[in-house]
């Protein structure tokens, strides 16, 4: 009887301990982030385009032990530079990306994740011979991220993003059309985020 009672209390202790350790390792993930994109390149119809700009947004998801997954929103203010017919043009664009991510937080001060932006839209906020104010293109994109978590509360992140835009909208004519060839872009971004696990 005594052994049975000890086994019962031991089992209860293990269950309670497991519950609290699991609760401490799992929960809602809220992660605001800021970054600066650089080394951006785009290739469209023999136009060579470079770009850079500031970014901000946030992730909302769930973290269970090291595994994390959820949704991500990123807004970027981008300055494009290109040569067209012998003239250099500087264009300002806003980019809005909405997607999903999955990743893992390692016990060695590193996090890694991959994301897919199912909604990726760039909108011209300046006017030139190439694009007018309000013109936009839509497509999809990807993100690979690596974060260093050696600082208190903060993750220092290195990001690699690609996008492919396959349709465009002309604000002056109201015409939406397919892009052929597509606009393909790639960039590197460096930033910080505040991963909060509730």
pLDDT level of residue 129 (50, 70, 90 thresholds): low
pLDDT at res. 103: 98
pLDDT level of residue 89 (50, 70, 90 thresholds): confident
Pick the closest to residue 115 from 153, 156, 93, 144 (CA basis). 144
CATH number at residue 33: 2.40.160.20
pLDDT level of residue 11 (50, 70, 90 thresholds): very low
Return the exposure string of 114-126: e unless at least 16 CB atoms fall within 10 Å of the residue's CB, then b.
ebebeebbbbbee
Element (H, E) at 27: strand 26-44
**80 domain residue, yes or no:** yes
**11 domain residue, yes or no:** no
Element (H, E) at 21: helix 2-25
**127 domain residue, yes or no:** yes
Q: If you average pLDDT over residues 12-18, what whole number do you get?
A: 38
pLDDT level of residue 41 (50, 70, 90 thresholds): very high
List the domain range (segments joined by +) for residue 182.
28-197
Our count of domains for the chain comes to 1
pLDDT level of residue 113 (50, 70, 90 thresholds): very high
Is residue 187 over pLDDT 70? yes
Q: What is the mean pLDDT of the chain?
A: 86
The alpha carbon of residue 71 and the mean position of all alpha carbons in its chain are separated, in whole angstroms, by: 9
**6-15, 121-130, 135-144: which has the minimum mean pLDDT?**
6-15
**18 domain residue, yes or no:** no
How many C-beta neighbours within 10 Å does residue 190 have?
12
**75 domain residue, yes or no:** yes
CA pair distance 39, 27, nearest whole angstrom:
36
pLDDT at res. 3: 52
**174 domain residue, yes or no:** yes
**5 domain residue, yes or no:** no
Pick the closest to residue 192 from 28, 58, 64 (CA basis). 58
Cα-Cα-Cα-Cα torsion 89, 52, 183, 145, nearest 10 degrees, comes to 180
Element (H, E) at 5: helix 2-25
pLDDT level of residue 96 (50, 70, 90 thresholds): very high
**20 domain residue, yes or no:** no
């Amino acid at each position: 009887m005594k052994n049975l009672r000890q086994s019962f209390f031991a089992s209860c202790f293990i269950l309670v301990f497991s519950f609290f350790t699991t609760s401490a390792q799992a929960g809602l993930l809220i992660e605001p982030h800021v970054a600066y994109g650089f080394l951006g390149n785009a290739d469209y119809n023999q136009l060579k385009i470079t770009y850079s700009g500031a970014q901000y947004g946030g992730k909302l998801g769930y973290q269970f032990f090291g595994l994390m997954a959820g949704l991500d929103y990123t807004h970027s203010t981008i300055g494009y530079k290109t040569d067209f017919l012998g003239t250099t043009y500087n264009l300002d664009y806003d980019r809005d990306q909405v997607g999903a991510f999955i990743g893992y937080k390692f016990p060695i001060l590193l996090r890694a994740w991959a994301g897919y932006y199912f909604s990726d839209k760039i909108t011209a906020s300046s006017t030139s011979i190439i694009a007018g104010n309000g013109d936009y293109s839509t497509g999809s994109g990807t993100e690979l991220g690596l974060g260093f978590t050696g600082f208190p509360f903060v993750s220092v992140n290195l990001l690699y993003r690609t996008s492919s835009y396959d349709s465009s909208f002309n604000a002056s004519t109201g015409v939406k059309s397919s892009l052929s060839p597509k606009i393909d872009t790639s960039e590197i971004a460096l930033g910080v985020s505040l991963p909060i696990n509730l």
